[in-house]
Amino acid sequence: MGATLNDIAKKVGVSQSTVSRVINGTAPISDEMKNKVYKAMKELNYHPNSLARNLAKGKSLTIGLVVDADNENAFANTFFTRSVYAMEKVAQKNGYSLLITNDVEEKSSPACELIFGHRVDGLILTASDLNQNILSALRNENIPWVVMGETSEKNGTMNWVDMDNLQGGVKAVEHLLKCGYRKIAYVADDLEAMFTKRRIQGYEKALEGKNTCIIFKEKNEEELERKIIESTEQEHVDAFLCSNNIIAFQVLQALKKLGKQVPTEIGVVTFDNYPFAEYMDPPLTVVDIDTYKLGEMAAEVLINKIKDQNFIQREKLISTELIPRLSTRKV
């Protein structure tokens, strides 16, 4: 059995609390006493428990990621897992562990228990899963947090990182215009999400607010197909900018049924760059969302806030990249 604090205390002739204060650095101790304790620790081959030492200092060296308890497909999302991988890499680099927990709309949620028990030094939240119980707990316990994704709260206290979705909308439309397309429709399935609002703002900005066409995708695929027919035949739409790869796939299927040729007659661009996007028929031109960089930036901002309470990073936008493929004409 290894040496204990009590063994060290007996050898030096002091109390266990004095030895603890030397090891944890929680109170002023003379250099002479420190040297005696360190000497005894060496002679007895004593190695302090780093977790216990950190907890004594009020630090767990753990950061948490809160995920939606109701979303059973969260980890099936390739983009989300890339973000988590990036967070873990940043955490390890800085001597932290990453703990993933879920959330429910209750004060006794697993996330709130972590906060009140100070078992994490900070939390990463997702914009789609913010609730006031967690935010109140974080503020009351003075625990740093950062949100992955832009939030609708504009009170000056919310810290978030996100892709520059407005810029992405501009890039997509500018590319389609350079390819010779003139009537571009935007297809979305969630008009309330902040990222959708920003993408549409970019879309409208590039078109200077003229000749726009917003298509809301219902859950019913037949309804989307009907809207695609109406937009191409009645409004003469010759290009579609899709909010994600799933919608883009459905648009391609609808156009194929209509006998429309992509990209000669109709152009298609989509946000996101799932692995299957480049293997579609035709391969999809995409606005690439670097979710690795998103997770990396979220973790870096959080750890900077943990280390320096005066660190301020209210919002951070990460640039998008347009990757041309065969679903749009060559420029």
Name the residue with higher pLDDT: 305 or 106: 305
State whether residue 323 is helix, strand or coil: strand
Query: Once rounded to an integer, what is the mean pLDDT over residues 110-137?
Result: 83
CATH of domain 5-56: 1.10.260.40
Of the segments 12-26, 53-67, 105-119, 132-146, which one has the largest average pLDDT value?
Answer: 132-146
Comparison of pLDDT for 17 and 69, the residue scoring more = 17
Mean pLDDT rounded to a whole number for the chain: 86
165-289 has the same fold as 62-163+293-319:
yes
Give the rounded percent of residues in the chain with a pLDDT score beyond 90.
51
- Summarize the confidence of residues 113-142 as an average pLDDT: 84
Residues with Cβ within 8 Å of residue 252, at least 6 apart in sequence: 262, 268, 280, 281, 327
pTM of the predicted protein model: 0.79
CA–CA distance, 58 with 60 (Å, rounded to integer):
7
* Beta-strand pair 213-216/267-271: unpaired
The 10s digit of each residue's pLDDT in 29-88 is 888 888 898 888 888 887 665 555 555 556 788 999 998 766 665 555 666 889 999 999
- How confident is residue 2, by pLDDT bands cut at 50, 70 and 90? low
Residue bearing tokens 């630090």 = 59
What confidence tier does 147 reach under pLDDT thresholds 50, 70, 90?
A: very high
**Domain spans in the chain, listed from the N-terminal domain onward:** 5-56, 62-163+293-319, 165-289
- Residue 313's nearest CA partner among 135, 88, 137, 162 is 162
Fold of domain 165-289: Rossmann fold (3.40.50)
CATH of domain 62-163+293-319: 3.40.50.2300
- What distance in Å separates the CA atoms of residue 196 and residue 181, rounded to the nearest whole number? 22
DSSP label of 279:
G
What confidence tens digit (pLDDT) does each residue in 197-241 have? 999 999 999 999 888 899 888 777 889 999 999 999 999 999 999
Report pLDDT digits (tens) over 263-322.
Answer: 999 999 999 998 889 999 999 999 999 999 999 999 999 999 998 877 877 788 999 999
pLDDT score at 173? 97
Q: Assess whether pLDDT exceeds 90 at residue 170.
A: yes
Helices 291-307 + 78-93 axis angle, to 10: 30
Q: Is the pLDDT of residue 135 over 60?
A: yes
**pLDDT at residue 9, as a whole number:** 85
Cα(32)–Cα(231) distance, integer angstroms: 83
Strands (E), 192-320: 213-216, 239-242, 267-271, 285-288, 315-318
Q: Does residue 17 carry a pLDDT above 90?
A: no
Owner of token pair 């571009």? 184
- Cα distances from 81 to residues 95, 145, 217, in angstroms, run 21, 20, 26
Q: Are the beta carbons of 68 and 29 closer than 8 angstroms?
A: no
